């Protein structure tokens, strides 16, 4: 530390500069608009693409899109998805939400756009088993939070990558012979 810096430091300490700066900030905030809200009477606007409770998507005919390939459970870093297929059908699909870190990998990896993260963040319960997501609960979450245009819009904006995101790089080998 140079002598000039030492003097500056001593003055700062003796004149309580930092304390005064802190008090000035408090005083400034005292008359500004409060950022707290009176939940649950008031609610913040949810940002589009918010990662809340999961849902299993349905197609326009109302059938579950999930084919039980298991990619989501393979990629899940928390290992909280459990998928079972029996006789060519999905017999079980469960998510232990308490272990989920809401990374969104399950949604991104699904080749069928069959699992999504909805805007619902109000699902606290008293018992662990009530918070556990079964296939039935996940499908009903689709009807509650994502049905209709909302689901379509969600996939358009947040489901990536889509086919239009892929271009053919120059120099890419392309088969031009006869089939
Ligand atoms: S949600 Fe998607 S990735 Fe997961 S099992 Fe179903 S189809 Fe496969
Ligand atoms: S959001 Fe992430 S942690 Fe949660 S279930 Fe999906 S992959 Fe697993």
CB 141 within 8 A of CB 53: yes
pLDDT surpassing 60 at residue 179 = no
Give residue ranges with CB within 6 A of ligand 2: 76-78, 80-81, 95, 100-106
User: What's the CA-to-centroid distance between 162 and ligand 2, angstroms?
Assistant: 20
The bound ligand whose nearest atom lies closest to the alpha carbon of 106 is 2
End-to-end CA distance of the chain: 78
Q: What is the pLDDT of residue 7?
A: 84
User: What's the CA-to-centroid distance between 47 and ligand 1, angstroms?
Assistant: 25
Q: What is the pLDDT of residue 26?
A: 92
The residue length of the chain stands at: 179
**Residue 165 pLDDT level (bands cut at 50, 70, 90):** confident
* Mean pLDDT value of segment 7-26: 87
Sequential DSSP letters for 52-119: -SEEE-B-TTS-B------HHHHH-TT--EEEEEETTEEEEEEE-GGG-----HHHHH-TT--EEE-S
Which of 95, 75, 101, 98 is CA-nearest to residue 83? 95
* Mean pLDDT value of segment 78-86: 96
User: What's the CA-to-centroid distance between 108 and ligand 2, angstroms?
Assistant: 10
Mutate to test the pocket of ligand 1, among 58, 81, 83 (most ligand atoms within 8 A of CB): 83
Instruction: Report the distance separating Cα 100 and Cα 132, nearest Å.
Output: 11
User: What's the CA-to-centroid distance between 79 and ligand 2, angstroms?
Assistant: 8
DSSP state of 163: G
* Mean pLDDT value of segment 46-59: 92
Q: What is the pLDDT of residue 163?
A: 66
pLDDT surpassing 80 at residue 174 = no
* Alpha carbon nearest to ligand 2 atom 8, residue: 76
């Amino acid at each position: 530390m140079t002598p000039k810096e030492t003097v500056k430091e001593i003055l700062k300490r003796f004149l309580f500069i930092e304390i005064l700066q802190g008090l000035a900030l408090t005083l400034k905030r005292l008359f500004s608009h409060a950022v707290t809200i009176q939940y649950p009477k008031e609610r913040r606007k949810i940002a589009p693409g918010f990662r809340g409770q999961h849902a299993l998507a349905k197609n326009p005919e109302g059938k579950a899109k999930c084919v039980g390939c298991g990619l989501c459970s393979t990629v899940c870093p928390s290992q909280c998805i459990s998928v079972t297929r029996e006789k060519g059908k999905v017999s079980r699909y469960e998510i232990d939400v308490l272990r989920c870190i809401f990374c969104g990998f399950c949604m991104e990896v699904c080749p069928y756009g069959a699992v999504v993260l909805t805007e619902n963040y109000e699902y606290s319960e008293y018992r662990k088993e009530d918070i556990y997501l079964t296939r039935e609960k996940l499908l009903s979450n689709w009807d509650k939070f994502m049905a209709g245009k909302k689901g379509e819009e969600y996939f358009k904006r947040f489901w990536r990558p889509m086919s239009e995101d892929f271009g053919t790089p120059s120099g890419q080998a392309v088969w031009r012979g006869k089939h």
